[in-house]
Every structure is written in C-alpha cells, then in structure tokens.
Chain A
C-alpha cells in the first residue's frame, strides 16, 4: 500500500557489548565479580585480561569466560589496551571497563551503555561524585582528584567530577582509537584530555560504587602524591603532542568473514578542524 514501508523495515541489530575486566592478583574477588556480571548482564560478553598475575587469579575465573593472559605485567594501560584490541578484532560496538576488585556494580553497566547509545558522547565515565553519595575516599585520593579535576577543567574545558574512574564505556570509534594507542601508566585522566583534543565527545554519568573489599590499592601516600604530580606533568605534555597518533589497527570489518583483517581507521575531524586522513589497508 502507498506509504506502507513496513516491508522495508529492518530492525537495527542490538549492539555487541563487551565487558573488559583487567585483573592483577585479584584471586580473592574475581570469581564473585565475574559471576555477578554474567548473572546481571547475560546479553553482554565478558573478557578477563590477566596482567601477569602471580597468584591463582586466572584459575579463579569461572570456566567458559575467555581469559587473555599477558606474558608479563604491562600495567593497567597495557591491560586495558589489550581488551580494546580484543574488542576491535572481534567487532564489538561497545566496550565497558569494569575493575576486578568488586568496586563496580554490574547493575550500573547497563546505565553506562544506555547513556552511550544515546549517541551524544563517545566515552561515558561513571562518576562516584556527580551525585550525592556515601562513597568516601582517603584524604590523599580526594586531594588528588580535586587537583586533577582542576587541571582537566583548565586544559580540556571539561568539568569531570571523577576523572580517575576506571568505570567507563566506549563506542566503536573510541574502541578503535584505544586499540591503536593507549596511555600506559595512568591512563584514565590522560585519555580524557587526549580524546577531547582529538575531537571525541566525553561525558559523565552518576553511578554507585562499592569500596574495595579485597586486594590492595596500588596507590599509597607518597605514590599518591607522586601520581598527582606525574599526571599533571603528563597532561601538560599532552598539550603539545599529536592528540592521537595515526595508523592502522587490526579490526573486524562487518560483512566480511569473521577473521580479522587490517581495517582503516578514520579520526573524527569536525571538532578538531583537521582533515580526515583515511588509512587504507595495503
């Protein structure tokens, strides 16, 4: 019938979502974390990235969950980039970072992804402090967060209440960018500034988090102060570097065989004003 386009309707396939769980010596909590994720998010795939754990973290992961074991410790940046490479290779549309220490609630993952799928931002950061919360930090951590918040507001024009949060979701454009390059040492705040400079959209969403139950935080008193100083220096240096290095990344090309093939990588140009430079596979 005229005007009847129902026969042309093709439902949009649900986006493929991957939850990346980087772990380093989290044998006390990883099993519970993974089981909670699988129960709460049956439609999501879960990937554990073992960053060279020296305990039996890998054996604690429930069977059937893919575990990518790095041959040696690369740090949180290297572990997360591994997860993003995996997501790019396997054609995922959304990647969510969830810590293996039980701080991040599985129930909040869907909210992060839904916010991302509204397509107003490319990276959503789950913030502990955006809304009124009972979450408490140590004095050093709170001081560090405030300093970094001020630095990022000055340098990137973004007012993020929790720029060190590792609870974040990324769309495919950001997955490809991260798969190609990712800061190594303390990536959370650096990534925000670099993505912003490269023209990506970064947003925040209020989430609830638990306090760490097992394992030890990698940031103590002096390391915390040094962390703030080092990150500030890194952020200042990031102002003079190319916001995101160009190049190719292995990624899945939709419509082709599921085997990964070298794909092209296009950077958003609108916000930055730079011309797009497609890198066509050889």
Chain B
C-alpha cells in the first residue's frame, strides 16, 4: 500500500515529478529514472521477503511430512522397526 501511495499522489498531481525536478535542479528524465528504480527496488525487496518466509514454511512442512511418513510407517517396509535383517546389537 505504501509503495502505491506515490502513484495515487501523482494521479492527483500529474506535474509532481516535474515540480520536484525543478526544485532539486535535476533533469526530469533522471528523476523519473530514480523514482522508477526505487519503486522496483522496494517491490523486489517486498517480494523477496515474502519468498523467504514462504521458503521457511515449505522447508518446515517438508520436514514434518517426512517425519510423519516415517512415523506412520509409510516408508519402505524394510525400514520399519523389527524388520527381518535389522542389524544385531
């Protein structure tokens, strides 16, 4: 939402970028490029944060599924406790 607010502002004030460029004495093209770059950086950063959180959840789920499959004896028969060729202590 916060990333989108500047666009809402520009919708009401189309000359905003030009006004800022004039006051900062930067070329319009340069300022526009900076604004787009910052926007893309923020979007990518936000998406990477989401991906990172989802990655942790997927990892945790995969681990728990694997443990549950072993616990429910859904693993291969020879790897269940008490199998015929279990090594003698």
What is the interface of chain A, defined by CB distance below 8 A to chain B?
A: 34-35, 38-39, 42, 49, 58-59, 61-72, 74, 78, 81-82, 85-86, 89, 184, 250
- Complex: chain B residue closest to A58, CB-CB: B76
Contact partners of B75 in chain A: CB under 8 A? 66-69
Contact partners of B34 in chain A: CB under 8 A? none
Shortest CB-to-CB span from B55 to chain A, Å, is: 9
Instruction: List B residues 28-85 near A (Cβ within 8 Å).
Output: 59, 62-67, 69-70, 75-76, 78-85
Q: Is B86 an interface residue (CB 8 A)?
A: yes
User: A64 CA to B62 CA in the complex, in Å?
Assistant: 23
* Contact among A39, A49, A62, A74 for B86, CB-based, below 8 A: A62
Q: 5 tightest CB-CB pairs across the interface, nearest first?
A: A64-B86, A63-B83, A42-B89, A63-B78, A38-B87
State whether B66 touches A70 (Cβ < 8 A).
yes
* Contact among B63, B67, B87 for A39, CB-based, below 8 A: B87
Bin chain B's interface residue count: 20 to 34
Beyond the given pairs A42-B89, A72-B62, A184-B59, 15 more chain A to chain B contacts, judged by CB atoms under 8 angstroms and listed by A's residue number, are A38-B89, A49-B66, A62-B86, A64-B83, A64-B87, A65-B79, A67-B75, A68-B67, A68-B75, A69-B66, A71-B62, A74-B63, A78-B62, A81-B59, A250-B64
User: A34 CA to B78 CA in the complex, in Å?
Assistant: 14
Shortest CB-to-CB span from A156 to chain B, Å, is: 24
Contact partners of A62 in chain B: CB under 8 A? 85-87
* Interface of chain A: mostly helix, strand, loop or mixed: mixed
User: A49 CA to B70 CA in the complex, in Å?
Assistant: 10
User: A38 CA to B43 CA in the complex, in Å?
Assistant: 53
State whether B76 touches A71 (Cβ < 8 A).
no
* Contact among B66, B84, B85 for A82, CB-based, below 8 A: B66
User: A64 CA to B38 CA in the complex, in Å?
Assistant: 57
Shortest CB-to-CB span from A98 to chain B, Å, is: 15
Contact partners of A81 in chain B: CB under 8 A? 59, 63
Shortest CB-to-CB span from B39 to chain A, Å, is: 25
- Complex: chain B residue closest to A75, CB-CB: B59
User: A68 CA to B59 CA in the complex, in Å?
Assistant: 14
State whether B70 touches A66 (Cβ < 8 A).
yes
Contact partners of B83 in chain A: CB under 8 A? 63-64
Contact partners of B70 in chain A: CB under 8 A? 66-69, 86
Residue among B78, B84, B87, B89 with most chain A CB within 10 A: B87
* Contact among B62, B64, B81, B87 for A74, CB-based, below 8 A: B62
- Complex: chain A residue closest to B56, CB-CB: A181
Shortest CB-to-CB span from A157 to chain B, Å, is: 29
Interface string of B4-32 (1 = CB under 8 A from A): 00000000000000000000000000000
User: A85 CA to B56 CA in the complex, in Å?
Assistant: 14
* Contact among A35, A49, A67, A85 for B64, CB-based, below 8 A: A85
- Complex: chain A residue closest to B61, CB-CB: A71
Shortest CB-to-CB span from A261 to chain B, Å, is: 14
- Complex: chain B residue closest to A245, CB-CB: B56
A-B contact list, 13 entries, CB within 8 Å: A35-B87, A58-B76, A58-B79, A62-B87, A63-B78, A63-B85, A65-B79, A66-B75, A66-B81, A68-B75, A69-B70, A82-B67, A86-B70
Contact partners of B76 in chain A: CB under 8 A? 58-59, 67
State whether B63 touches A78 (Cβ < 8 A).
yes
Residue among A49, A63, A184 with most chain B CB within 10 A: A63
